[in-house]
Amino acid sequence: MKLWICLAVIIIILTSCGNTYQCPKQSLITAYVSYTDMEIDTIILRRFTLRSNFTQKVDSTILTTNNCQVIRRSDTVELFLPDIKNRFTDEYDWQIVNPFDQKTVSISDMVFQIEEKKSGGLFSMDPAACFSPILSYKRDNTIVTPAPNSGNSYLYIHK
């Protein structure tokens, strides 16, 4: 009987051990509305030093179907950026430019609700899936607040 109690206590201790980690920050998904595929075959993503009023460019990336995933849903085309470096974060200010019509959208002052999770313990080494959602950001200097618990946050750009 004592052996079973000791064994149960050891199992509880081992399975309750786990590390707390910060969930990754959610990114905006760029979605072009009413554009043809040819009109958005090349998009320019520019990163700027945070709070530099878009005057200190860090770098820029040309987005094409070769380096991002493109999904068309009816009249809307979503761009998914597999390279983490090119995902919208609060570490930079951003501009996304469509050379077809020279439409430029500026993103700044991103605010996140930082979420933390605890990994499962000794026998569950994989962390649970989670993200730190976007609470607000400025789009062309206008504050945008995504709907809470809406899952993905989209940056809709209309023709």
pLDDT digits (tens, 9 = 90+) for 84-109: 888 899 999 999 999 999 999 999 99
Q: In sequence order, what are the residues at sequence separation of 6 or more whose Cβ sits closer than 8 angstroms to the Cβ of residue 88? A: 27, 28, 94, 107, 110, 137, 155
Say if 152 falls within a structural domain: yes
Please, what is the average pLDDT of the chain? 86
Which neighbouring-strand residues pair with 47? 59, 94
Instruction: Please give the tally of structural domains in the chain.
Output: 1
pLDDT, block means (10 residues), the chain with 159 residues: 61 61 89 95 96 96 92 94 85 97 97 84 62 94 85 91
Say if 53 falls within a structural domain: yes
Say if 4 falls within a structural domain: no
**What range does the domain containing 115 cover?**
19-158
Say if 59 falls within a structural domain: yes
Distance CA 146, CA 110 (A): 11
Distance CA 110, CA 145 (A): 10
What pLDDT is recorded for position 124? 56
Q: Helix (H, G, I), strand (E, B), or coil: what is residue 72?
A: strand
